[in-house]
Amino acid sequence: MKSTAIGGTGKKVKNGISVAILVVIFAAYMFPFLMVVINSLKQKRDIIKSPFSWLFTIKGLSFDNFVKAFTQMDFLNAFKNSLIVTASATILVTLLAAMFAYYIVRHNNAISKIIFALMIASMIIPFQAIMIPLVSIYGGNLNILNHRITLIFMHTGFSMAMSVFMFHGFIKGSVPIALEEAAYIDGCTHTRTFFKIVLPLLKPIISTMVILNALAFWNDFLLPSLVLTDKKLLTLPLSTYSFYGTYSADYGTIMAGLLLCVIPILILYVILQKQIISGVVAGAVK
């Protein structure tokens, strides 16, 4: 009885230490976001004077920064541009990656293995290594920059490798081939079998890839800054850059603009959060 009690106490102590460590990590992770929220409600002088002060320790709190940010960054137009680019690229990469991964899994020949290996190998190439040739070719030679379609095309291409990898693992481990064979016996074609039988079974991994890709496309600054220069085509991350001046910056408005950019993608995450973890685990396990 004594040894059992000691063992139980030791387990409780370990659990307590683990929880305390997780709380500290969570607090350290959320602290920058909390500072953005707090400083978005401050005036510029208060941010410069005491950026780490809490809301109840200062005066002059207001939502003027949000009104100014909404107007100055042309939020509705930038939101429309981000929505068009993000939705189009997300739909394209999800559908194409699912179809391509399905083909690789069900046609396990030498060509499929080589193509899949090359796609996985391409994931280790950093974007910074190809962005200058990319802009030079598409801008200097083809002259097709400064178009939404070009940005959508690039987002789709750069996200295909990771998406195919995730879909490949999920299809191979979670989609039984017996269902497809039964559909073929009933007279279904390969295309109809994929859209009627296979695609509905991919809902968990589709939800995961939608939120991951949408988050990446929505928050991306580097690629849109290389492709888009027309003010009417700027996405939300690019429009927030207008708050930075040559010699100074309006930090309160910047914080408010950042929050306005984050809120839509947070809503999408909350809606799809139940499928995200299960999809990531299922897609990563062979």
Please check the confidence at residue 85 and state whether its pLDDT lies above 90: yes
Q: What is the pLDDT of residues 38-59, one digit of tens each?
A: 888 887 777 777 777 776 555 6
Q: Assign 3-class secondary structure to 204-262.
A: HHHHHHHHHHHHHHHHCCHHHHHHCCCHHHCCHHHHHHHHECCCCECHHHHHHHHHHHH
pLDDT-based confidence at 94, cuts 50/70/90? very high
Say which range, 84-88, 222-226, 260-264, has the weakest mean pLDDT: 260-264
C-alpha distances out from residue 266 to 163, 173, 181, 229, 262, Å? 21, 30, 40, 27, 6
| Confidence (pLDDT) at 248 | 63
Q: What is the mean pLDDT of the chain?
A: 83
**Taking residues 225-231, what's their average pLDDT?**
87
| Confidence (pLDDT) at 126 | 86
Q: Considering only residues 128 and 149, tell me which one the structure prediction assigns the higher pLDDT.
A: 149
**Taking residues 54-77, what's their average pLDDT?**
77
| Confidence (pLDDT) at 96 | 94
**Taking residues 178-182, what's their average pLDDT?**
86
Q: Is 145 helix (H, G, I), strand (E, B) or coil?
A: coil
Closest by CA to 217, choosing from 91, 74, 30, is: 91
Locate all alpha helices (DSSP H) within the chain, ordered by sequence.
Answer: 2-39, 44-49, 64-72, 75-106, 110-122, 131-135, 148-174, 177-185, 190-193, 199-201, 203-219, 222-227, 236-239, 251-284
Dihedral class, residue 187 (left if φ above 0, else alpha if ψ from -120 to 50, else beta): left
| Confidence (pLDDT) at 286 | 45
Q: How far apart are the first and last CA of the chain?
A: 44
Burial of 178 (0-12, 13-18, 19+ CB in 10 A): exposed
56: Cβ–Cβ under 8 A, 6 or more apart, which residues? none
Tokens at 104, concatenated: 């690789």
Contact 152, 89 (CB under 8 A): yes
Burial of 272 (0-12, 13-18, 19+ CB in 10 A): middle
Query: Which CATH architecture is the domain 66-284 placed in?
Result: Orthogonal Bundle (1.10)
124: Cβ–Cβ under 8 A, 6 or more apart, which residues? none
Q: How far apart are CA 223 and CA 217, in angstroms?
A: 9
Q: Cα–Cα–Cα angle for 166, 204, 126, nearest 5°? A: 30
Q: What count of residues does the chain have?
A: 286
Q: How many CB atoms lie within 10 A of CB 125?
A: 11
Q: What is the pLDDT of residues 191-222, one digit of tens each?
A: 888 898 899 889 888 888 888 898 899 989 88
pTM above 0.95, yes or no: no
